[in-house]
Amino acid sequence: MAIETTLILFKPDAIQGNLVGTVLERFQKHGFIIRGIKMMELSDEILAEHYAHIADMPFFPAVREFMQETPVIALALSGEDVINKVRDLLGPTDSCVAEAGTIRGDFGVKDSNSKMRNVCHASDSPESAEAEIKRFFGEGEVFDL
């Protein structure tokens, strides 16, 4: 397996719930390496780009509002097969069906009306990871370690 880098966004529910350290520790216990980390407020423009696949849907304004409740923490994380392994650690996007022991199963909001309140976003492919890291990190903000 090759070493990959993925993007993780700690969403407002992770910030509000004071879960960032706990979740980050889970990632680090699996040997993943932090290559970049920063807190940032998300503009309408970056959210429209990041969520381009749903930006014209009627529920997008609620997604934008949620993602702007607090700053988020962007994390560039590296490791062997990190993209798939992080997604396995997180569990399904819908926290209501995520098993105990997964991050979303342990910390996600268990309300079918709040599916976006699921602690973290994580890239779903090497191509997405590359584009998302460029979207959230500028030149010189992701380091080779």
How confident is the prediction along the chain (145 residues), in pLDDT tens digits per residue? 789 999 999 999 999 999 999 999 999 999 999 999 999 999 999 999 999 999 999 999 999 999 999 999 999 999 999 999 999 999 999 999 999 999 999 999 887 777 889 999 999 999 999 999 999 999 999 999 7
CA distance 96 to 101: 13
Catalytic residue among 30, 50, 53, 121: 121
Whether 121 is catalytic is: yes
User: Which tokens go with 67?
Assistant: 């993602």
Look at residue 145 in the predicted model and tell me its pLDDT: 77
Please give the model's pTM, rounded to 2 decimal places: 0.95
C-alpha 94/C-alpha 129 separation (Å) is: 21
Cβ proximity of 121 and 93 under 8 Å: no
* Domains detected in the chain: 3-136 (3.30.70.141)
The whole-angstrom separation of Cα 75 and Cα 103 is 16
Range 52-88 burial, b when 16+ CB lie within 10 A, else e: eeeeeeeeeeebbebbeebebbbbbbbbeebbebbbe
pLDDT at 2: 85
